[in-house]
Amino acid sequence: MNRFATSLPPHVFFLISAVFHYLGPSFAVLLFGQISPLGVAWLRIASAAVIFALWLPPWRVIAEAAPKARRLILLLGVILAAMNMTFYLAIERLPLATVAAIEFAATIAVALIGLRSARNFLALGLAVAGVFLLIGFKIAGDLVGLCFAFANALLFALYVIVGHSIARQGGASGIARLGAAMGVAFIVASPFGFSDVAKLATQPLLILAGIGVGISSSVIPYICDQLAMARLPRASFALMLTLLPAIAAVTGAIVLRQIPGPLDLAGIFLVILGVGLHRPADIESPAEPSSEEQRALG
């Protein structure tokens, strides 16, 4: 696994993650009419947890981990469960573009932590401008939906930070700990979504759709995230997340015939320009924890 992970540029794994990031919601659309958002979130988490457990039992990973690593696994599991549930609760009430805009604002904050030069601040400014041209920032009137969206954004930022700390252990080790964290997420989410899914026992096609959501939204993207995070500084990874709206626009044009307009094309150009201009700070090595992470981990 480590040999394979180092044979490809980390940006390749990021792009794979980004593509599958948008396949998951397409499966989830099939389920919203039949099951609650918390049920969809549970199906996503449960199917991913089972797939990871078949590779390496999560209890073994947790038992063999050092105390600090064990705390990170447990923390990531709670984050994954809460992040998935708040995401689906948010998109039930708000347009996906609004939830995405709030979510990307959180990743921008993570990127700010690792900036060390005027060049990188300029890169960030270009990326932010491109994101807003692509998806805008329309505040809807649903306050409950907004609360879920902001909670999801905060949790997504925490996922980037904690996931990066786990990824520093290496490709295979990071994925094993990710699988263990998904097992923790399964336990945390079960009281909220299992009862809704139990009603689908006589509808195997919906169960299969839920498994597709888990594979597309949690297994493939999270594994690729770990492989990318292991070799990219945290700020660089967070800034690259701004490429997602551009990838979504291109995917929509190819698959759904949603041809981007002039503002969309300008946004894509600005995002790509910003990511291309960004240069990781020399003092933030992907192999060593930053000072703030060392303090956080005790």
On the question of pLDDT at 184 being above 90, the answer is yes
Cβ(37)–Cβ(99) below 8 Å: no
Which of 112-116, 199-203, 260-264 has the least mean pLDDT? Answer: 112-116
Report d(CA 231, CA 81) in Å as an integer.
25
Report d(CA 183, CA 95) in Å as an integer.
30
Higher pLDDT, 189 or 127: 189
Report d(CA 62, CA 21) in Å as an integer.
27
Higher pLDDT, 10 or 165: 165
| Conformation bin of residue 278: beta by default, left when phi > 0, alpha when psi is -120 to 50 | beta
Angle (CA) 209 210 213, round 5° = 90
On the question of pLDDT at 6 being above 80, the answer is no
Query: Which whole number is the average pLDDT over 241-249?
Result: 65
State pTM to two decimals.
0.72
HSE-up (13 A, CA, CB side) for residue 297: 19
Report CA 14 to chain centroid distance, whole Å. 11
| Conformation bin of residue 170: beta by default, left when phi > 0, alpha when psi is -120 to 50 | left
Q: What is the pLDDT of residue 17?
A: 81
Report d(CA 260, CA 273) in Å as an integer.
18
Higher pLDDT, 279 or 120: 120
On the question of pLDDT at 298 being above 80, the answer is no
On the question of pLDDT at 190 being above 80, the answer is yes
The closest of 276, 21, 298, 240 to 114, measured between CA atoms, is 240
Higher pLDDT, 121 or 291: 121
Cβ(114)–Cβ(238) below 8 Å: yes
Could you tell me the residue ranges of all domains in the chain?
A: 8-296
The closest of 241, 213, 209 to 225, measured between CA atoms, is 241
Report d(CA 159, CA 184) in Å as an integer.
14
pLDDT digits (tens, 9 = 90+) for 47-98: 889 988 888 888 888 888 888 888 999 999 999 999 999 988 987 887 666 6
Mean pLDDT (the chain) is 75
